Copies of this chain bind each other. A is one copy, B any other.
Amino acid sequence: MKNIKEYIEENKQRFLDELFGYLRIPSISSIESHKPDMYKAAEYVKAAVLKAGVDKAEIFETEGNPVMYAEKIIDPALPTVMVYGHMDVMPVDPIELWKSEPFEPVIREEKIWGRGSDDDKGQQFMHIKAFEYLVSTNQLPCNVKFMIEGEEEIGSPSLPKFCEENKEMLAADVILVSDTGMIAPDIPSITTGLRGLMYWEVEVMGPNRDLHSGLFGGAVANPINVLAKMIAQMTDENGHITIPGFYDDVIEVSKEERAEMAKAPFNVEEYKKAIDVEELGGEAGYSTNERTGIRPSFDVCGIWGGYTGEGAKTVLPSAAFAKISTRLVPNQDYPKISEQFKKHFEAIAPKNVKVTVKPLHGGHGYVCPTDTPEYLAADKAYTETFGKKPVPVRSGGSIPIISDFERILGIKSVLMGFGLESDAIHSPNENYPLFNFFKGIETIPYFYKYFVELKK
């Protein structure tokens, strides 16, 4: 790659300025009132790819948020790489914990701070800039397509239909995605597995109004007490999830593969220190990386009910609520899990409350083989720019649409993530190191190069 380092060095400030404009748009997909921001983000990214050199770019309407699609076809006989990314971001609360405004990006400590700086605007923007480099230096070795959606953080509900309806337009040899992370700042890695997901909101309804906890306490079931007992029952003392049938489709990973995984560098003391906990938790019989990489998990993401203001209010509340998620491993079917959970949660509810289970979204897990041209191309690209071979890892996160791409479009994805665990994605103070941003722009063109060579 001719003068890639120089090209980045010369255009650094412009790259950041352009990214910052993107980060300033509060495109939170889970909050309805931010819908106009999704269109702003789509227009912004459309303008960015046009500027970078695509032949055409278009914003497609869906039942939900828009999809920005663009392409540059230089020769139909050459391979086609489709870049997938998302322009939507997570909510920002608890807002009071941010050290700077989530939608006013700043550089501090050699990092970009702001919502979306890593996930996924920052990582996605690397692809636009890498593409710009290839086009402007006349080195683009293949056809390129961009599909940037606006619903990843809410489970991509509209994208499968979009793919069904645009199979021909979306035809490609591989889907290239940067929406995952690296093991450590100096250890490049390729994500070879993703967990699936199922997410519900539950309501436990007791009396028709908040009651006086003195006059009624002890005689009327308290919905918070009940919800706590129900949640407590969902996992046993070994950290196993108790939903009947939940593990039926879980494929046990072989001893050999587990031994291979165990070789990945991991320092448990540093891991604990980074999040400031004295002990970890989880399923008995599995290591920390196995607990997130190859085993499902059960997390209450939010809970609320009764009096949550200042001081004391003696009340027996009318209702209690929780947002509950499970991460699933490949081969677990999220609609089946959703039904199993609903049935079980309703079954364990005592008769003195009414329970409602509302599924919010779900997605399948994914496993990526390590002997394909795309894996090998990614491996060579990292080796070129980092000076060391990348480690294949199973991530605990979910990108539900990845398995849908394979099912609907018949295309495998390669997950070249440049994020770090310390980037605090989904949390206050999300950030993305400048090193990773620029290293990503440097590495991606090599993927194109080696992929085309390996496909010959």
Q: Are B224 and A300 in contact (CB under 8 A)?
A: yes
B residues in contact with A350, CB < 8 Å: 279, 281
B residues in contact with A227, CB < 8 Å: 228, 303
Q: Are B306 and A300 in contact (CB under 8 A)?
A: yes
Give the docked Cα–Cα distance between A391 and B298 (Å).
52
A341 CB → nearest B CB, Å = 15
Known: A31-B310, A235-B225. A218 touches B327 (CB 8 A): yes
Please pick, from B277, B301, B317, the residue contacting A314 in the complex, using a CB distance under 8 A: B301
Give the docked Cα–Cα distance between A301 and B289 (Å).
38
Q: Are B327 and A214 in contact (CB under 8 A)?
A: yes
Looking at chain A, what size class is its interface with the partner chain?
35 or more
Q: Are A210 and B309 in contact (CB under 8 A)?
A: no
Interface residues of A in 22-66 (CB under 8 A from B): 30-32
Give the docked Cα–Cα distance between A239 and B350 (Å).
13
B residues in contact with A30, CB < 8 Å: 309-313
Q: Are B206 and A277 in contact (CB under 8 A)?
A: yes
Please pick, from B217, B239, B312, the residue contacting A361 in the complex, using a CB distance under 8 A: B312
| A13 interfacial contact with B, CB 8 Å | no
Please pick, from B216, B282, B327, B424, the residue contacting A213 in the complex, using a CB distance under 8 A: B327
Known: A228-B228, A425-B212. A302 touches B311 (CB 8 A): no
Q: Are A397 and B283 in contact (CB under 8 A)?
A: no
B residues in contact with A217, CB < 8 Å: 292, 297-299, 325, 327, 396
Q: Are A427 and B397 in contact (CB under 8 A)?
A: no
| A160 interfacial contact with B, CB 8 Å | no
Q: Are A428 and B209 in contact (CB under 8 A)?
A: yes
Interface residues of A in 168-213 (CB under 8 A from B): 181, 195, 197, 199, 201, 206-213
| A243 interfacial contact with B, CB 8 Å | no
Q: Are A299 and B225 in contact (CB under 8 A)?
A: yes
Closest A-B pairs by Cβ, 6 of them: A218-B297, A214-B397, A30-B311, A221-B281, A232-B232, A302-B306
A3 CB → nearest B CB, Å = 36
B residues in contact with A275, CB < 8 Å: 207-209, 211, 216, 220
Binds B, one of A90-98, A131-139, A403-411, A441-449: A90-98
| A80 interfacial contact with B, CB 8 Å | no
Give the docked Cα–Cα distance between A323 and B225 (Å).
11
Interface residues of A in 257-289 (CB under 8 A from B): 275-283, 288-289
Q: Are B313 and A225 in contact (CB under 8 A)?
A: no
A443 CB → nearest B CB, Å = 21
Contact with B along A217-260 (1 / 0, CB 8 A): 11111101101110111010001000000000000000000000
Contact with B along A67-104 (1 / 0, CB 8 A): 00000000000000000000000110110010000000
Using A220-B275, A220-B277 as known contacts, list a sample of 18 further A-B pairs with CB atoms less than 8 Å apart, ordered by residue number in A.
A30-B311, A30-B313, A32-B310, A206-B277, A209-B429, A216-B396, A218-B283, A218-B291, A219-B281, A221-B280, A279-B350, A302-B315, A303-B306, A304-B305, A306-B323, A314-B325, A315-B426, A315-B427
